[in-house]
Amino acid sequence: LLPGALNDRGQSMTLGVMGGGQLGRMFVQAAQAMGYVTVVLDADPASPAGLIAHHHIRTGYEDPQGLAELAQRCDAITTEFENVPAAALRTLAAQRPVAPSADCVAVAQDRIAEKAHFSQCAAISGVHPAPNATIETAGQLAAVADNLLPGILKTARLGYDGKGQIRVKTRAELAAAWEQLGRVACVLEKMLPLQSECSVLVARGADGQVAVFPVQNNTHHDGILAITEVHEGAVPVDLAARAQASTVAIANHLGYVGVLCVEYFVVDNGRGGSDLVVNEMAPRPHNSGHYTQNACDVSQFEAQVRALAGLPLPTPRAHSPALMVNLLGDLWFQPNGVRAEASEQPVSPPWAQVLALPGTNLHLYGKLSARPGRKMGHLNITGATLAKVRGTAAQVLTLLG
Ligand code: ADP
Ligand code: MG
């Protein structure tokens, strides 16, 4: 689907996205920058991507008319939200190219299938998931091996930002946690001694071309990504190379098309060194990859456009060390660094002062109201050296309180 060309209906090439959140918005922006017409399907009339797409179909993900209109208007379709029902993607795929495929998305939607996939890929890459057990029945709960405790019980489906998981130390706590989660299908993972967390983006084309991005070092607060740093040595170089190789193996083995992000733990190996463990994957561009917008020659969103449109995917180059700061709605309630009650009027953070610092790029998602915990935007910081980037980041964090 060449940019600027007409399709067989005599119309401009059109790319569609299931989901209207910020990831969809930034995909739309990248697609529009390359001349594509864009269509978003999302029920919310004020969805960040719906507000800026050429066309917004305001229906739910399973609405037959909405899906028919999306297929009719688009030359290819992607998704920005991993919990889009796989059946909806299958319906679309009967009419138009859809990437990633329903099958790939279905694996990422289910921690049990995801872990099984990672274990198969470990035979190629040597990077394993944490020791774990599937818990779908009372029998499986009773049979859990002692060495998985202390552990984390995670629902197999619909978990994100640390939600749908409970930390347990004993068998009694494990049983209570499973009750609390409603006895749904879960995975119990052994609690690992984390030294740090990182993630890797890969873009893969339908022809098997693969472009892997530099490794991202991630810091979370309260289960939500807070800061991503990317530079030479952000992750020990031997582990970074293994994480990239593992990510490519995971994408290849799935026959994945599009941008995929795989999260890893760097753990204490008990021998004074570090080891790498694969945690989970997202079948879409990822919050930890936003730095690519300002620090790389091809952003993760442009890579998604290229993979979907069948365009070349040369290896992306980071031309600057980078640091990304997530901007949560809480910032709108703490003028001068003093946290106000959430019921008070939101106040815009001091963007003019932030943007006066060199190498800062503000990305806001156009959400109409700020709420504590809501992802409102992010700030990318680039600079000639890592020391400059970190110096600017320290000033930014002081300004934002
Ligand atoms: P989510 O879908 O909410 O991102 P994750 O599986 O990534 O779920 O878990 C959220 C966070 O919990 C991780 O980023 C990590 O900090 C911590 N965590 C998850 N699994 C483990 C584990 N096995 N050992 C130690 N910490 C873990
Ligand atoms: Mg995670």
Q: For the domain 131-190, what is the CATH superfamily, name and number? A: ATP-grasp fold, A domain (3.30.1490.20)
DSSP state string for 207-272: T--EEEPPPEEEEEETTEEEEEEESTTSS-HHHHHHHHHHHHHHHHHHT--EEEEEEEEEEE-SSS
Confidence at residue 344, expressed as pLDDT on a 0 to 100 scale: 74
- Could you tell me the pTM of the whole model? 0.96
Angle between helix axes 22-33 and 300-309 (nearest 10 degrees) is: 70
pLDDT digits (tens, 9 = 90+) for 204-224: 999 999 999 999 999 999 889
Whether the CA torsion 40, 251, 278, 196 is positive or negative: it is negative
Strands 322-328, 375-382: pairing kind: antiparallel
**How do the domains of the chain map onto residue ranges?**
14-98, 131-190, 194-400
Is 280 annotated for ligand binding?
A: yes
The Cα 401–Cα 397 span in angstroms is 6
- Other C-beta atoms lying within 10 Å of the C-beta of residue 400: 18
Taking a C-beta distance cutoff of 8 angstroms, is the pair 309, 303 a contact?
Answer: no
Tell me what ipTM this predicted complex has.
0.98
Angle between helix axes 86-93 and 64-73 (nearest 10 degrees) is: 40
| CATH class in words for 14-98 | alpha beta
Instruction: Please say if the pLDDT value at position 102 is more than 60.
Output: yes
Ligand nearest to the CA of 222: 1
Q: Dump strand ranges (E) for 283-400.
A: 322-328, 360-364, 375-382
Residue 173 gets the label, from left (phi > 0), alpha (psi -120 to 50) or beta, of: alpha
Ligand 1 interacting residues, C-beta cut-off 6 A: 130, 152, 154, 159-162, 189, 191-192, 194, 197, 220, 223, 263, 279-280
Is 383 annotated for ligand binding?
A: no
pLDDT digits (tens, 9 = 90+) for 138-192: 999 999 999 999 999 999 998 887 789 999 999 999 999 999 999 999 999 999 9
What is the topology classification, in CATH, of domain 194-400? D-amino Acid Aminotransferase; Chain A, domain 1 (3.30.470)
Is 375 annotated for ligand binding?
A: no
The Cα 255–Cα 249 span in angstroms is 10
Among 165, 168, 216, which is best to mutate for testing ligand 1, by the most ligand atoms less than 8 A from CB? 165
Ligand 2 geometric centre to CA of 15 (Å): 28
Nearest in space to 1 (alpha carbons), one of 316, 307, 313, 315:
307
